[in-house]
Amino acid sequence: MMFDVLRRRARRWMSRGRGEIGSFQELRQYRDVVRFGSVFALLILLPAVLLAGIAWDATSAVESSVDLELRLRADAAARQVQVQLDELFDRFETRVAGRLENGETLLADLADLSPHLRAAFRFDASGRLVDPFTARYEEPTPPMTPRQRMLLDAAARAGTPDAWREALAAAGENPQANASARLGLASALLADQQPVSAESELGDLYADYANHRDPRGLRIGEIALLMRAEIRFLRSPDIGASALMDLVDQASTAKWEVGRQDSPAVARRALARLEGYADPEWMARQRSRLNERALELWWASELQEELDLLGRSVGPPDQVQYFSARSGSPALWAQLEHGDIYVFSFAVADIVAEITAQAARINQLDRDLRALVAETGLDTPDGALAEATFGRLPAAKVYVVAADPAALDRLKNSRRTTQGLVVGLAIVLVGMGIAVSARIVGREVETARMKADFAANVSHELRSPITQIRLKAESLQLGLTYDEADNRKHYDAIVTSAEQLSRLVDNVLDFAAIERGVKKYAMRPDDLAEIVWTAIEATGAEIDERGIVLDANISEDLPALWMDRDAIGQVVANLLSNALKYGGTGRWVGVSLRRVGDRVELSVADRGIGIAARDQEQIFEHFFRSQDPAVRRVKGTGIGLTIVRYIVEAHGGMITIESAPGQGSVFTVSLPASPPEPS
């Protein structure tokens, strides 16, 4: 219904000055134009505008999209570091479970469990450390008297057996003073070349005070055994080496006390004595084992306060629990309850170093980001894109920042600029599309209008000669003429109108053939002057009727031209017809035919209304008619000059125009005088 209303309003608007029938015809001509414009707007223009709008809105989201993309990549990088750490502890737990399943100890070959494991301990159900070390134990001993200390110091300065015997006599029942004096006596006897007495004294000392310690904290029994073995080594290397090797084996397997380094020191002294004498492979194994246990003992001694707090159940059996005993501790503890309680101590610095190396590898893969590992207590820096903590490593966290914030800003600006250029280009393309479409639609509208004018003008052109023919024929039929001369005028009028009608039909048919591209010409040598005279004679009646003076200047010595007689005759007839119609009040038409060099030129001139310079470029376009009111008053089809130019160019010629408003026009057709070369 809406479409019908619009159509009726369009017809009323277009009917102004054209009438109902003319407006209906023109509306039908515009229908295809409107359809094209609607399809273009719906399928091309509207989507282009929508896309341009979407792209324009997208420019405001460029910065947030860059930040979002970078944050997603930063989250992925942080998660990757988390995964690497989880894999490290997963491997540890898998190997622990494997040893438990196979009945193997968890306290040996710690590097196989984890490269970051520094020590492993076993506590009994009561929470007492039982393996591989024991808690430090201080055996209660009475203090030495000042006199005992004085005599011991004096004996140490003198270094003689007698001085030590005096100190021993004063020691009485005090274990520490007695053991120190007897140890000093053994050393003095050995220095006095009394090895047998010294060895005997050391044997008694070991039997009485093996577990006591001297003032330096060294175990008396281990020192006595070491000195006896050294004495035997000097007296008999084989026997002494065996004693030293037994001492090393005993020291390597003994349960050392946490916080004391005397047992490792005794074992190292024995190994030093065996250098160059014992089997090298055995020496290497013992040194490795000794160093491994000494490092574990040192680590346990450094964390003795934390170790004293452990050994109590903290979680379900057979599940490893991770925790830090105190803030800033160098150790990460893992505890497993499996009958007894096993406690594992990891070096936090080593774990952090590994995940830092992993972060550095991630940094190599993504140059825009920088993953950093820091202590949990430190504040996360401003501008951090992502942060992650480690469930099994509470002491550390990872955060990710932009590697180069300035480069990030440049990236945002670059993307914003690119997006702006894309939007600008889209807008320009849409504008160009609108302009081109408007031009095309304008042309189509103008063509539709011209076609409507053409149909109306053709109707008028057909009606005029038909009316004349009918009128003159009816006059002759009804005997309304006066005499034979009047009859002759009626016959001449009928012939003239018929020729005019024939010329009009020929023009329409030729134009249709030209439009379809099927127009062909029968080229042969012919006399152009004769064709011109024939055309002039054919328009003689019209010339006389209009009272126009015809000035013909036709050269007679022209060569025969290679042409289609009917087509060139149509050219001359159309040019003469235009000169007669638009000659105006000048009432003069000039026709000249002459040879100019290797060409023949035909000129048709008039002194009529002329043609404006702006219309001269379009005068040969089909359906074109000037908007000059003086021209619009003269009926015409708008295809005559189009046909003229097509025919002339098909004959290898050209047509030019010289005109000015109010001064008439001169159309000149130039044709080649020689026939075309055979192809």
The 10s digit of each residue's pLDDT in 275-327 is 888 889 999 999 998 898 888 889 988 888 888 887 676 667 888 888 887 77
By the 8 A CB rule, do 291 and 268 touch?
no
Strands 321-323 and 331-338: antiparallel
Q: What is the DSSP letter of 475?
A: H
Q: Strand, helix or coil at 7?
A: helix
- pLDDT score for 666: 94
Per the structure block, which two tokens stand in for 312?
A: 């109590």
Report how far Cα 463 is from the mean position of its chain's Cα atoms: 71
Residue 601 scores a pLDDT above 90: yes
Task: Tell me the per-residue pLDDT of 316-338, one tens digit each, with 9 for 90 and over.
Answer: 788 888 888 777 788 888 888 88
Q: Which two tokens stand for residue 621?
A: 């376009």
Q: Give the length of the chain.
A: 679
DSSP element (H, E) containing 402: strand 393-402
Q: Where are any strands of DSSP class E within 66-143?
A: 117-123, 129-131, 133-134
Residue range 373-390: mean pLDDT, rounded: 75
Cα–Cα distance measured from residue 263 to residue 259, given in angstroms and rounded to the nearest whole number: 11
CA distance 96 to 318: 10
Helices (H), 338-404: 348-365
* Residue 417, φ and ψ in degrees, nearest 5: -65, -45
CA-based nearest residue to 81, from 402, 395, 387: 387
Distance (Å) of CA 81 to CA 85, 381, 388, 400, 460: 6, 18, 9, 11, 92
pLDDT score of 464: 59
Residue 617's SS3 state is coil
Long-range contacts of 432-435 (CB under 8 A, 24+ apart): 433/44, 433/45, 433/48, 434/45
* Mean pLDDT, range 87-104, rounded to an integer: 92
Give the model's pLDDT for residue 612. 87
DSSP, collapsed to helix, strand or coil, labels residue 626 as: coil
Q: Is the dihedral of CA 524, 526, 528, 533 positive or negative?
A: negative
The structure's pTM equals 0.53
Q: Calculate what percentage of the chain has a pLDDT beyond 70.
A: 78
Q: What is the pLDDT, as a whole number, of residue 3? A: 47
Which of 87-96, 235-244, 319-328 is predicted least confidently? 319-328
529's tokens:
């002057």
Closest of 304, 329, 411 to residue 65, by C-alpha = 411
With bands split at pLDDT 50, 70 and 90, how would you rate the model's confidence at 482? confident
Number of Cβ within a 10 Å radius of residue 4 = 8
User: Which DSSP helix (H) or strand (E) runs through 247?
Assistant: helix 237-253
**72/83 Cα distance (integer angstroms):** 16
User: In terms of pLDDT, which residue wins out, 175 or 20?
Assistant: 175
pLDDT of residue 98: 93
Higher pLDDT, 230 or 445: 230
Distance CA 107, CA 473 (A): 136
pLDDT tens-digit profile of 208-221? Answer: 887 777 777 778 88
Rg from Cα positions in the chain: 62
Rounded CA separation 314/335 (Å): 8
pLDDT at 270 > cutoff 80: yes
Identify the weakest region by mean pLDDT among 57-66, 130-139, 425-434, 555-564.
Answer: 57-66
What is the band of 606 on the pLDDT scale with cuts at 50, 70, 90? very high
pLDDT category of residue 620 using cuts at 50, 70 and 90: confident
What residue spans of 41-174 are helical by DSSP H? 46-59, 62-102, 110-113, 146-158, 161-171
What is the predicted pLDDT for the residue at 23? 53
Average pLDDT value for residue range 218-246: 86
pLDDT at 138: 65
In terms of phi and psi (left: phi > 0; alpha: psi -120 to 50; beta: otherwise), the region of 574 is: alpha
Residue 435 binned pLDDT confidence (cut-offs 50, 70, 90): confident
Structure tokens at 27: 């509306």
Sorting pLDDT into bands at 50, 70 and 90, what band is 379?
Answer: confident
Rounded CA separation 646/143 (Å)? 138
The yes-or-no verdict on residue 387 having pLDDT over 70 is yes
Tokens linked to 297: 């003992």
Rounded Cα–Cα distance for residues 472 and 507 (Å)? 25
| Strand ordering across the sheet containing 393-402 | 369-375, 393-402, 386-390
pLDDT tens-place string over residues 243-261: 889 888 888 888 888 888 8
| Mean pLDDT, the chain, whole residue set | 79
Q: Domains in the chain, ordered, with CATH? A: 70-133+320-403 (no CATH), 144-287 (1.25.40), 481-672 (3.30.565.10)
Burial class (CB within 10 angstroms; exposed 0-12, middle 13-18, buried 19+) of 374: middle
* 293 token code pair: 């246990």
pLDDT value of residue 115: 92
Tell me how far apart the alpha carbons of residues 185 and 198 are, in angstroms, rounded to a whole number: 8
Q: What is the pLDDT, as a whole number, of residue 679?
A: 45
